[in-house]
Amino acid sequence: MPLSMLVPDYGPHPTCQKLFNKGLLMIHPFKPEPAEFQRLNSLYKNNPNYILNNEALGTREGRLNLNILKHHGQSSFHHQQPDSHWFPHHRIEDGTLVDMKEVKVVSFEHYITDLLHNDIMIPNFIKTDTEGYDLEVVRSYGLHLPQIYALRTEMHFERAFKDGLFFSDFDRWFTDHDYFLLNIDYSDSGVSYSYFTPNSNRYGILYSSEAVYLRNYEFLRSLLIAKLLVLLLLFNNYTSGLAVHLLLKICSDESSLRDQLLTGDCQER
C-alpha cells in the first residue's frame, strides 16, 4: 500500500519523486488552472496513484479569481506586492499578469470526508506551494488536521504578495497546533542583486524557502503506522540522522513491549 500525499501544487518534491515513480506514493494534486489541469491529466490519466483535482484548496469555499502569471508556477489568488524584491527585481518577467480565471475552491476537510465516504486512503502528508496562499490551505484541514503527520510548505520572509503571510505567521500557527519545525530547505544562497555576486554558497537576501513540519514526537511514537511513514519522509527530506534515531527508539519500544507481554504471560501460567 503506497503512502498518500496531498499536493496543492504541480507534484511531489524531488526528494519524494522516486517514491512516486516506484508506485510507493499516491498523490492528490490540486490544479485549478484549466490549462495546467489538462496538461497534467494527459500525462497521468492512466496512473491510479495520481488523483488529479481541477480545484483549489482554501477555507473560503466557493469561487475565487486566480491571477495567472507569465510563469504559471507563480500564479496566485493574491496580487503582487509592488515594493517587494521578488518580482520587481529578481523575477521581473515572471510576474506579468496574462489572465485571470474564476476557479472553484473546496476545503481540505470536505475533500477528506468525501474520500472516507468512498473508502479511499486519505493523505497523511502535505506538500503545498501556492504562492502566498499556503496557510489558507493548511487552515482548511479542519477536523482532519490530526491525520496529518508531516507537512512541507513554502515560506516567505518578505511579502511578495499582498495579504500574503510571513514565516513567523506559519511557525506560530503550527506550534499552536502541536507541530514542530523539522528543517528549512535553504542552501545559504538568497536573491542575488549583482552580476558581481561571489560564486559561493552564502550570499544575497533570504526571500523564501520551504519548511518541513512534523507532528508532536510523542504522538508519532504512539502509532506504529505513523512511525513507518514518517521514517520514509525523514529519509527523503535530508534528516536521516533523526530517522535513524527514531528507528532505534521504535526498536527499543517494541522490544520493551515484547518483554512485558512475555513476562505477563509467564506470571499467568
Asked if 139 and 216 sit in the same domain, the reply is: yes
**Per-residue model confidence as pLDDT tens digits over 34-43:** 888 898 899 8
238 backbone dihedrals φ, ψ, rounded to 5°: 65, 25
Asked if 229 and 254 sit in the same domain, the reply is: no
Asked if 181 and 147 sit in the same domain, the reply is: yes
Asked if 201 and 266 sit in the same domain, the reply is: no
Above 80 in pLDDT, residue 180? yes
- Longest Cα–Cα distance of the chain, Å, equals 79
pLDDT of residue 187: 73
pLDDT of residue 63: 92
Categorize the per-residue pLDDT at 23 as very low, low, confident or very high, splitting at 50, 70 and 90: confident
Per the prediction, the chain carries an average pLDDT of 78
Asked if 28 and 59 sit in the same domain, the reply is: yes
pLDDT of residue 173: 92
Give the contacts of 72 (CB within 8 A, at least 6 positions apart). Answer: 33, 35, 36
Above 90 in pLDDT, residue 172? yes
**Per-residue model confidence as pLDDT tens digits over 207-262:** 888 888 988 767 766 665 556 667 777 777 777 887 787 777 777 766 654 554 44
Asked if 233 and 253 sit in the same domain, the reply is: no
119: domain range?
3-238
CATH number of the domain to which 158 belongs = 3.40.50
5 backbone dihedrals φ, ψ, rounded to 5°: -135, 135
Above 60 in pLDDT, residue 10? no
Above 70 in pLDDT, residue 4? no
Q: What torsion do the CA atoms of 215, 212, 17, 118 make, to the nearest 10 degrees?
A: 40
pLDDT of residue 265: 47
Q: How many CB atoms lie within 10 A of CB 127?
A: 25
160 φ/ψ sector (left φ>0, alpha ψ -120 to 50, else beta):
alpha
pLDDT of residue 7: 67
Asked if 135 and 260 sit in the same domain, the reply is: no
Asked if 127 and 167 sit in the same domain, the reply is: yes
Residue-by-residue DSSP string for the chain:
--EEEEESSSS--HHHHHHHHTT-EEEEEB--SHHHHHHHHHHHTT-TTB--BSSEE-SS-EEEEEEEESSGGG-BSSPB-TTSSIIIIISTGGG-EEEEEEEEEE-HHHHHHHHHHTT-PPP-EEEE--TT-HHHHHHTTGGGGGG--EEEEEEESS--BTT---HHHHHHHHHHTTEEEEEEE--SB-B---TT--SSSSBSB--EEEEEEEE-HHHHHH-HHHHHHHHHHHHTTT-HHHHHHHHHHHHHHHHHHHHHHHHHHHHH-
Asked if 232 and 258 sit in the same domain, the reply is: no
Asked if 141 and 254 sit in the same domain, the reply is: no
**Per-residue model confidence as pLDDT tens digits over 70-116:** 877 778 888 877 777 777 667 777 777 888 889 899 998 999 899 88
Above 80 in pLDDT, residue 183? yes
Give the chain's domain count. 2
**Per-residue model confidence as pLDDT tens digits over 196-210:** 777 666 777 788 888
Asked if 180 and 265 sit in the same domain, the reply is: no
pLDDT of residue 104: 92
pLDDT of residue 47: 87
**Sheet arrangement for strand 208-215:** 25-29, 3-7, 125-128, 150-156, 208-215, 179-185
- Residue 12 CA to residue 31 CA, distance in Å, equals 13
pLDDT of residue 40: 87
- Residue 151 CA to residue 182 CA, distance in Å, equals 10
Above 60 in pLDDT, residue 15? no
- 75 burial (CB, 10 Å; 0-12 / 13-18 / 19+) is buried
pLDDT of residue 266: 40
**Per-residue model confidence as pLDDT tens digits over 120-161:** 888 888 888 888 888 888 888 888 888 888 888 888 888 878
pLDDT of residue 254: 60
Asked if 182 and 258 sit in the same domain, the reply is: no
Above 50 in pLDDT, residue 268? no
pLDDT of residue 234: 76
Above 70 in pLDDT, residue 61? yes
